[in-house]
Amino acid sequence: MHIHIINPNTTAAFTEADRLAGSAVAAPQTRVTASEPKEGVPSIESHFEEAVATLGVVEEVRRHEAEGVDAFVIACFGDTGLSAAREVACVPVVGMTEAALMAAAMVAQSFSIVTLPARTRIHAHRVVASLGLGLAGRCLPIRAVDVPVLYGEEEDEAVRRAIASQGREAIEKEGAEAIVLGCAGIGHLAAPLSQELGVPVIDGVAVAVGMAETLVRNGLATSKRSSFAAPPDKPLSPRYRFLADPADETNGHPQ
């Protein structure tokens, strides 16, 4: 089995961290690879950056599905480009945020998300609302540490302490029974934070890889009946032909 992780931003260090997180939990026979778009933004902290990064996600799906990938994982909290990826991919596509929230619902009655920076809380709210499943009533107020996604390595311990503080408040003051980490770049903190806080702390990238494996083993791919049907067959303007299906020889798409 081949699971490919797409980091929607262009920071290669994040891509490698995602690959290591996925490889650590994957079955021994599963091959886990990862990539980032050639062009885009170094981190995703706004709606504008999500729009730019979505094109890169689609391009990565096109490129790697042609190589025989069995499933994709989108490694960005907010699931950047997930719906578009599901439209163009023939194999399952799992978003780390959806995966993390579903996992949290399986191990806790109530949970909190701790994300960064503060302005990205709206992206987490969007995914919670879109999932339904009663999650809005089980997800406690979304907390944040107001540091940029690309914080320096020397700040890692300070960020860990800040996330621990927010998690502890969510547990003690609001009754959170689990914590979801709201950024792919902080997944390495899940294990130490879980030990420190005494509750499950969930890294969406690792959970998403496990869910992707399960879908593949059960022969389940995205339904193409309606919502995630392939995009209508239309010619793309020259600016966007790089997004074309490599197998499509129509509509003037370059091969």
CA 200 to each of CA 78, 110, 187, 218, 244: distance values in angstroms, whole numbers, following the listed order: 20, 11, 13, 27, 41
Domain contains 253: no
* Same domain for 118 and 29: no
* Same domain for 163 and 127: yes
> How far apart, in Å, do the first and last CA atoms of the chain sit?
28
Measured from the Cβ of residue 144, the count of other Cβ atoms closer than 10 Å reads: 20
Task: Please state whether the peptide bond connecting residue 117 to the residue before it is cis, i.e. omega within 30 degrees of 0.
Answer: yes
CA 221 to each of CA 80, 211, 212, 228: distance values in angstroms, whole numbers, following the listed order: 19, 12, 10, 11
- 10-residue mean pLDDT profile of the chain (255 residues): values are 98 96 97 97 96 97 94 96 97 96 95 95 91 84 93 89 97 97 94 97 98 98 95 91 69 37
* Same domain for 180 and 132: yes
CB 126 within 8 A of CB 83: no
Q: Which of 75, 22, 13 lies closest to 44 in space, CA to CA?
A: 75
* Same domain for 23 and 38: yes
For the chain, what is the domain count?
Answer: 2
* Same domain for 54 and 87: yes
* Same domain for 144 and 176: yes
Q: Give pLDDT, residue 246.
A: 66
Looking up residue 68, the CATH number of its domain turns out to be: 3.40.50.12500
Provide the token pair at 33: 């690879």
74 phi, psi to nearest 5 deg: -95, 115
For CA atoms 209, 214, 219, 224, the dihedral sign is negative
Q: Give pLDDT, residue 137.
A: 85
* Containing structural domain, residue 125: 97-204
Domain contains 123: yes
pTM over 0.85: yes
Domain contains 220: yes
Q: Give pLDDT, residue 242.
A: 86
